[in-house]
Amino acid sequence: MQGLLESIIENNKDLVKEGKVASYIPLLGQGNPDHLGIAVTNLDGREYLAGDWEVKYTMQSISKVISLMLAIMDKGSRNVFSKVGMEPTGDGFNSIVNLEVKKLSKPYNPMINAGAIVISSLIEGATVEERIKRIVTFAQKITDNKSIRVNEEVYQSEQETGDRNRALAYFMKSNNILTGSVEESLEVYFKQCSIEVNSRDISRIGAMLANDGILPWTGERIISRETARIVKTIMVTCGMYDESGEFAVHIGIPAKSGVGGGIMAAVPRRMGIGVFGPSLDEKGNSIAGIKMLQELSKELDLSIF
Ligand code: GLU
Protein backbone atom coordinates (compact mmCIF):
# COMPACT_ATOMS: atom_id res chain seq x y z
CA MET A 1 0.00 0.00 0.00
CA GLN A 2 2.77 2.45 0.92
CA GLY A 3 4.45 1.92 -2.46
CA LEU A 4 1.15 2.34 -4.26
CA LEU A 5 0.43 5.67 -2.55
CA GLU A 6 3.91 6.95 -3.33
CA SER A 7 3.56 6.03 -6.99
CA ILE A 8 0.12 7.70 -7.09
CA ILE A 9 1.69 10.92 -5.80
CA GLU A 10 4.46 10.63 -8.37
CA ASN A 11 2.08 9.89 -11.27
CA ASN A 12 -0.14 12.89 -10.53
CA LYS A 13 2.52 15.52 -9.75
CA ASP A 14 2.05 17.36 -13.02
CA LEU A 15 -1.69 17.72 -12.53
CA VAL A 16 -1.17 20.40 -9.88
CA LYS A 17 -0.56 22.81 -12.75
CA GLU A 18 -4.15 22.39 -13.97
CA GLY A 19 -7.06 24.29 -12.49
CA LYS A 20 -6.99 27.07 -9.94
CA VAL A 21 -6.72 27.46 -6.18
CA ALA A 22 -10.02 28.88 -4.84
CA SER A 23 -9.69 32.60 -4.35
CA TYR A 24 -13.28 33.76 -3.82
CA ILE A 25 -12.38 33.35 -0.15
CA PRO A 26 -9.25 35.55 -0.32
CA LEU A 27 -7.21 33.64 2.23
CA LEU A 28 -7.67 30.34 0.37
CA GLY A 29 -5.99 32.02 -2.60
CA GLN A 30 -2.72 31.89 -0.64
CA GLY A 31 -2.73 28.06 -0.81
CA ASN A 32 0.29 26.46 -2.49
CA PRO A 33 -0.92 24.75 -5.70
CA ASP A 34 2.07 22.37 -5.67
CA HIS A 35 0.88 20.50 -2.60
CA LEU A 36 -0.26 16.95 -3.14
CA GLY A 37 -1.02 14.55 -0.30
CA ILE A 38 -2.73 11.24 0.32
CA ALA A 39 -3.58 9.19 3.41
CA VAL A 40 -5.31 5.84 3.86
CA THR A 41 -6.69 4.49 7.13
CA ASN A 42 -7.52 0.80 7.04
CA LEU A 43 -10.21 -0.69 9.21
CA ASP A 44 -7.61 -2.50 11.32
CA GLY A 45 -6.28 0.96 12.20
CA ARG A 46 -3.15 0.79 10.03
CA GLU A 47 -2.31 4.03 8.21
CA TYR A 48 -0.38 4.82 5.05
CA LEU A 49 0.73 8.36 4.32
CA ALA A 50 2.42 9.88 1.29
CA GLY A 51 3.33 13.24 -0.25
CA ASP A 52 2.21 16.38 1.58
CA TRP A 53 -0.23 14.52 3.82
CA GLU A 54 0.86 16.62 6.80
CA VAL A 55 0.05 19.98 5.21
CA LYS A 56 -2.93 21.61 6.88
CA TYR A 57 -5.89 23.05 5.04
CA THR A 58 -9.40 24.05 5.97
CA MET A 59 -12.16 21.48 5.67
CA GLN A 60 -14.58 23.80 3.89
CA SER A 61 -17.43 21.65 2.58
CA ILE A 62 -16.04 18.46 4.11
CA SER A 63 -17.27 19.96 7.39
CA LYS A 64 -20.82 19.56 6.09
CA VAL A 65 -20.49 15.84 6.81
CA ILE A 66 -19.40 16.54 10.40
CA SER A 67 -22.28 18.94 11.07
CA LEU A 68 -24.80 16.60 9.40
CA MET A 69 -23.77 13.74 11.70
CA LEU A 70 -23.98 15.98 14.75
CA ALA A 71 -27.37 17.43 13.75
CA ILE A 72 -28.76 13.91 13.28
CA MET A 73 -27.43 12.97 16.72
CA ASP A 74 -28.95 16.13 18.21
CA LYS A 75 -32.34 16.14 16.52
CA GLY A 76 -32.89 12.73 14.94
CA SER A 77 -32.87 12.03 11.21
CA ARG A 78 -36.62 12.46 10.72
CA ASN A 79 -36.49 15.96 12.13
CA VAL A 80 -33.32 16.90 10.21
CA PHE A 81 -34.70 15.70 6.88
CA SER A 82 -37.96 17.52 7.44
CA LYS A 83 -35.85 20.69 7.09
CA VAL A 84 -33.34 19.63 4.42
CA GLY A 85 -33.93 17.27 1.48
CA MET A 86 -31.91 14.33 0.13
CA GLU A 87 -31.89 15.09 -3.59
CA PRO A 88 -28.92 16.07 -5.76
CA THR A 89 -29.28 19.40 -7.56
CA GLY A 90 -27.09 19.38 -10.64
CA ASP A 91 -26.40 23.02 -9.75
CA GLY A 92 -23.35 24.68 -8.23
CA PHE A 93 -22.70 24.39 -4.48
CA ASN A 94 -23.70 27.97 -3.76
CA SER A 95 -26.61 28.24 -6.19
CA ILE A 96 -29.57 30.29 -5.04
CA VAL A 97 -31.89 29.86 -8.02
CA ASN A 98 -33.94 26.81 -6.97
CA LEU A 99 -34.93 28.29 -3.65
CA GLU A 100 -36.97 30.95 -5.38
CA VAL A 101 -37.87 29.55 -8.79
CA LYS A 102 -39.03 26.19 -7.47
CA LYS A 103 -40.50 27.70 -4.30
CA LEU A 104 -38.80 25.05 -2.22
CA SER A 105 -39.90 24.48 1.34
CA LYS A 106 -36.42 23.12 2.10
CA PRO A 107 -33.03 23.15 0.38
CA TYR A 108 -32.31 20.14 -1.81
CA ASN A 109 -29.63 18.48 0.31
CA PRO A 110 -27.19 19.04 3.21
CA MET A 111 -24.09 19.17 0.96
CA ILE A 112 -24.95 22.39 -0.87
CA ASN A 113 -24.41 25.62 1.02
CA ALA A 114 -28.12 26.39 1.53
CA GLY A 115 -28.70 22.98 3.10
CA ALA A 116 -25.53 23.12 5.16
CA ILE A 117 -26.48 26.51 6.61
CA VAL A 118 -29.82 25.05 7.73
CA ILE A 119 -27.95 22.09 9.25
CA SER A 120 -25.65 24.49 11.12
CA SER A 121 -28.73 26.17 12.57
CA LEU A 122 -29.80 22.82 14.05
CA ILE A 123 -26.63 22.15 16.05
CA GLU A 124 -27.49 22.41 19.73
CA GLY A 125 -25.74 24.64 22.26
CA ALA A 126 -26.66 27.51 24.58
CA THR A 127 -24.42 29.98 22.72
CA VAL A 128 -22.79 30.20 19.29
CA GLU A 129 -19.42 29.50 20.91
CA GLU A 130 -20.77 26.35 22.48
CA ARG A 131 -22.22 25.13 19.18
CA ILE A 132 -18.92 25.70 17.40
CA LYS A 133 -17.03 24.03 20.24
CA ARG A 134 -19.27 20.97 19.93
CA ILE A 135 -18.48 20.67 16.22
CA VAL A 136 -14.73 21.08 16.80
CA THR A 137 -14.75 18.58 19.70
CA PHE A 138 -16.67 16.11 17.57
CA ALA A 139 -14.10 16.49 14.76
CA GLN A 140 -11.27 16.02 17.29
CA LYS A 141 -12.87 12.85 18.56
CA ILE A 142 -13.41 11.29 15.13
CA THR A 143 -9.87 12.11 14.02
CA ASP A 144 -8.24 11.30 17.38
CA ASN A 145 -6.50 14.64 17.00
CA LYS A 146 -6.93 17.07 19.88
CA SER A 147 -4.98 19.79 18.09
CA ILE A 148 -7.70 20.41 15.51
CA ARG A 149 -8.77 24.07 15.58
CA VAL A 150 -10.65 26.72 13.63
CA ASN A 151 -8.23 28.74 11.48
CA GLU A 152 -9.29 32.21 12.62
CA GLU A 153 -7.70 33.97 9.64
CA VAL A 154 -9.63 31.86 7.13
CA TYR A 155 -12.77 32.38 9.21
CA GLN A 156 -12.28 36.17 9.10
CA SER A 157 -11.70 36.04 5.36
CA GLU A 158 -14.82 33.92 4.82
CA GLN A 159 -17.01 36.03 6.95
CA GLU A 160 -15.82 39.26 5.34
CA THR A 161 -16.53 37.97 1.85
CA GLY A 162 -19.35 35.47 2.41
CA ASP A 163 -22.10 37.56 0.91
CA ARG A 164 -23.45 34.78 -1.29
CA ASN A 165 -23.95 32.63 1.81
CA ARG A 166 -25.51 35.59 3.60
CA ALA A 167 -27.89 36.04 0.66
CA LEU A 168 -28.83 32.35 0.75
CA ALA A 169 -29.41 32.48 4.48
CA TYR A 170 -31.49 35.68 4.51
CA PHE A 171 -33.55 34.41 1.59
CA MET A 172 -34.26 31.21 3.51
CA LYS A 173 -35.12 33.22 6.62
CA SER A 174 -37.62 35.30 4.64
CA ASN A 175 -39.35 32.04 3.60
CA ASN A 176 -39.23 30.50 7.08
CA ILE A 177 -36.92 27.76 5.85
CA LEU A 178 -34.30 29.03 8.27
CA THR A 179 -35.44 30.03 11.72
CA GLY A 180 -33.57 31.82 14.49
CA SER A 181 -30.64 34.18 14.07
CA VAL A 182 -29.19 34.22 10.54
CA GLU A 183 -25.92 35.76 11.68
CA GLU A 184 -25.47 33.08 14.35
CA SER A 185 -26.14 30.25 11.89
CA LEU A 186 -23.65 31.81 9.48
CA GLU A 187 -21.03 32.16 12.20
CA VAL A 188 -21.38 28.45 12.98
CA TYR A 189 -21.23 27.62 9.26
CA PHE A 190 -18.21 29.82 8.47
CA LYS A 191 -16.33 28.52 11.51
CA GLN A 192 -17.01 24.86 10.74
CA CYS A 193 -15.74 25.45 7.18
CA SER A 194 -12.57 26.98 8.66
CA ILE A 195 -11.65 23.95 10.79
CA GLU A 196 -8.10 23.03 9.86
CA VAL A 197 -7.09 19.42 9.18
CA ASN A 198 -4.51 17.35 7.33
CA SER A 199 -5.09 14.42 4.99
CA ARG A 200 -4.66 11.84 7.75
CA ASP A 201 -7.42 13.54 9.76
CA ILE A 202 -9.86 13.31 6.89
CA SER A 203 -8.90 9.75 6.06
CA ARG A 204 -9.80 8.90 9.69
CA ILE A 205 -13.23 10.47 9.27
CA GLY A 206 -13.64 8.32 6.16
CA ALA A 207 -12.51 5.23 8.06
CA MET A 208 -15.10 5.75 10.81
CA LEU A 209 -17.83 6.05 8.15
CA ALA A 210 -16.43 3.06 6.23
CA ASN A 211 -16.57 1.12 9.50
CA ASP A 212 -20.29 1.84 9.95
CA GLY A 213 -19.79 4.50 12.62
CA ILE A 214 -17.12 2.79 14.77
CA LEU A 215 -13.57 4.15 15.24
CA PRO A 216 -11.35 1.39 13.85
CA TRP A 217 -8.51 2.03 16.32
CA THR A 218 -10.55 1.89 19.58
CA GLY A 219 -13.76 0.10 18.67
CA GLU A 220 -15.75 3.05 20.03
CA ARG A 221 -19.07 3.77 18.35
CA ILE A 222 -19.34 7.43 17.30
CA ILE A 223 -22.57 7.43 15.29
CA SER A 224 -25.22 4.79 14.69
CA ARG A 225 -24.89 2.40 11.79
CA GLU A 226 -28.03 3.98 10.34
CA THR A 227 -26.56 7.50 10.49
CA ALA A 228 -23.35 6.24 8.82
CA ARG A 229 -25.47 4.66 6.09
CA ILE A 230 -27.47 7.86 5.49
CA VAL A 231 -24.35 10.04 5.41
CA LYS A 232 -22.46 7.76 2.99
CA THR A 233 -25.47 7.59 0.68
CA ILE A 234 -25.77 11.38 0.59
CA MET A 235 -22.02 11.58 -0.08
CA VAL A 236 -22.50 9.35 -3.15
CA THR A 237 -25.37 11.36 -4.59
CA CYS A 238 -24.36 14.89 -3.56
CA GLY A 239 -20.81 14.90 -2.13
CA MET A 240 -18.93 16.06 -5.21
CA TYR A 241 -21.27 18.94 -6.04
CA ASP A 242 -22.61 18.83 -9.60
CA GLU A 243 -19.86 16.37 -10.52
CA SER A 244 -21.25 13.61 -8.26
CA GLY A 245 -22.63 11.52 -11.12
CA GLU A 246 -19.37 11.44 -13.07
CA PHE A 247 -17.43 10.73 -9.89
CA ALA A 248 -19.76 7.80 -9.10
CA VAL A 249 -19.19 6.32 -12.56
CA HIS A 250 -15.40 6.73 -12.62
CA ILE A 251 -14.51 6.23 -8.97
CA GLY A 252 -17.61 4.82 -7.26
CA ILE A 253 -16.78 5.71 -3.65
CA PRO A 254 -18.81 7.85 -1.20
CA ALA A 255 -16.81 11.09 -0.97
CA LYS A 256 -17.03 14.74 0.03
CA SER A 257 -14.85 17.49 -1.34
CA GLY A 258 -14.13 20.99 -0.10
CA VAL A 259 -12.85 24.11 -1.86
CA GLY A 260 -9.77 23.99 0.39
CA GLY A 261 -8.61 21.16 -1.90
CA GLY A 262 -9.37 18.17 0.30
CA ILE A 263 -11.52 15.15 -0.51
CA MET A 264 -12.65 12.73 2.19
CA ALA A 265 -13.67 9.27 0.97
CA ALA A 266 -15.16 6.26 2.76
CA VAL A 267 -14.90 2.86 1.11
CA PRO A 268 -17.51 0.77 2.94
CA ARG A 269 -15.92 -1.99 5.05
CA ARG A 270 -12.49 -1.32 3.54
CA MET A 271 -10.85 2.03 4.29
CA GLY A 272 -10.97 5.78 4.72
CA ILE A 273 -9.03 7.97 2.30
CA GLY A 274 -7.96 11.60 2.51
CA VAL A 275 -6.50 13.38 -0.50
CA PHE A 276 -5.34 16.94 -0.91
CA GLY A 277 -4.43 19.13 -3.88
CA PRO A 278 -5.57 22.79 -3.79
CA SER A 279 -6.01 23.32 -7.55
CA LEU A 280 -9.68 22.96 -8.35
CA ASP A 281 -11.76 22.33 -11.45
CA GLU A 282 -14.62 24.68 -12.34
CA LYS A 283 -17.03 22.72 -10.12
CA GLY A 284 -14.83 23.29 -7.05
CA ASN A 285 -13.28 19.81 -6.79
CA SER A 286 -9.54 19.09 -6.48
CA ILE A 287 -8.30 17.99 -9.91
CA ALA A 288 -5.33 15.99 -8.66
CA GLY A 289 -7.41 14.71 -5.73
CA ILE A 290 -9.99 13.19 -8.08
CA LYS A 291 -7.28 11.64 -10.26
CA MET A 292 -5.51 10.14 -7.24
CA LEU A 293 -8.78 8.62 -6.03
CA GLN A 294 -9.47 7.30 -9.50
CA GLU A 295 -6.10 5.59 -9.64
CA LEU A 296 -6.50 4.09 -6.16
CA SER A 297 -10.03 2.93 -6.94
CA LYS A 298 -8.88 1.22 -10.12
CA GLU A 299 -5.80 -0.39 -8.56
CA LEU A 300 -7.66 -1.78 -5.55
CA ASP A 301 -11.07 -2.28 -7.17
CA LEU A 302 -12.77 0.03 -4.67
CA SER A 303 -15.93 1.01 -6.57
CA ILE A 304 -19.03 0.03 -4.62
CA PHE A 305 -21.00 -0.42 -7.82
N1 GLU B 1 -16.96 27.88 2.94
C2 GLU B 1 -17.20 27.59 1.58
C3 GLU B 1 -18.39 28.38 1.11
O4 GLU B 1 -19.35 28.44 1.79
C5 GLU B 1 -17.43 26.13 1.41
C6 GLU B 1 -17.68 25.75 -0.01
C7 GLU B 1 -17.12 24.44 -0.40
O8 GLU B 1 -16.15 23.90 0.11
O9 GLU B 1 -17.74 23.92 -1.34
O10 GLU B 1 -18.41 28.97 0.06
Distance (Å) from CA 44 to ligand 1 centroid = 32
Classify residue 38 as left (phi > 0), alpha (psi -120 to 50) or beta: beta
- Residue spans in the chain of domains classed CATH 3.40.710.10: 2-60+195-300, 63-193
Rg (CA), the chain: 18
Cβ of residue 161 lying under 6 Å from some atom of ligand 1? no
| Residue 189 bears catalytic tag | yes
Phi, psi (degrees; rounded to nearest 5) at 287: -65, -50
- C-beta neighbour count of 112 within 10 angstroms: 26
Atom of ligand 1 nearest to the CA of 62: 8
**Does residue 61 have an active-site annotation?**
yes
Can you tell me the distance from the alpha carbon of 94 to that of 203, in angstroms, rounded to the nearest whole number? 25
Q: What is the phi/psi pair of residue 197, to 5°?
A: -140, 170
Q: Which CATH superfamily is domain 63-193 in?
A: DD-peptidase/beta-lactamase superfamily (3.40.710.10)
Tell me whether residue 108 is one of the annotated catalytic residues. no
Determine if ligand 1 sits within 6 Å of the CB of residue 36. no
Q: Which atom of ligand 1 is nearest to the CA of 258?
A: 8
Cα separation, 2 vs 81, in Å, equals 40
Q: Which atom of ligand 1 is nearest to the CA of 158?
A: 1
For the Cβ of 94 lying below 6 angstroms from any atom of ligand 1, the answer is: yes
CATH level 2 (architecture), domain 2-60+195-300: 3-Layer(aba) Sandwich (3.40)
Q: Phi and psi (nearest 5°) for 291?
A: -65, -40
The answer to whether residue 173 is catalytic is no
Active site includes 24?
Answer: no
- Give per-residue pLDDT as tens, 211-223: 999 999 999 999 9
In this structure, how many other beta carbons lie within 10 angstroms of the beta carbon of residue 298? Answer: 13
Per-residue model confidence as pLDDT tens for the chain (305 residues):
999 999 999 999 998 889 999 999 999 999 999 999 999 999 999 999 999 999 999 999 999 999 999 999 999 999 999 999 999 988 888 888 888 777 778 999 999 999 999 999 999 999 999 999 999 999 999 999 999 999 999 999 999 999 999 999 999 999 999 999 999 999 999 999 999 999 999 999 999 999 999 999 999 999 999 999 999 999 999 999 889 999 999 999 999 999 999 999 999 999 999 999 999 999 999 999 999 999 999 999 999 99
Q: How far is the CA of 156 from the centre of ligand 1 (A)?
A: 14
Q: CA angle, 200 as apex, 197 and 206 as ends, to 5°?
A: 95
CA of 116 to the centre of ligand 1 (A): 10
Q: Which of helix, strand or coil describes residue 94?
A: coil
Q: Is 93 in the pocket of ligand 1 (CB under 6 A)?
A: yes
Query: How do residues 25-37 score in pLDDT, each as one tens digit?
Result: 999 999 999 999 9
Q: Which residues pair with 40 in a beta bridge?
A: 48, 273
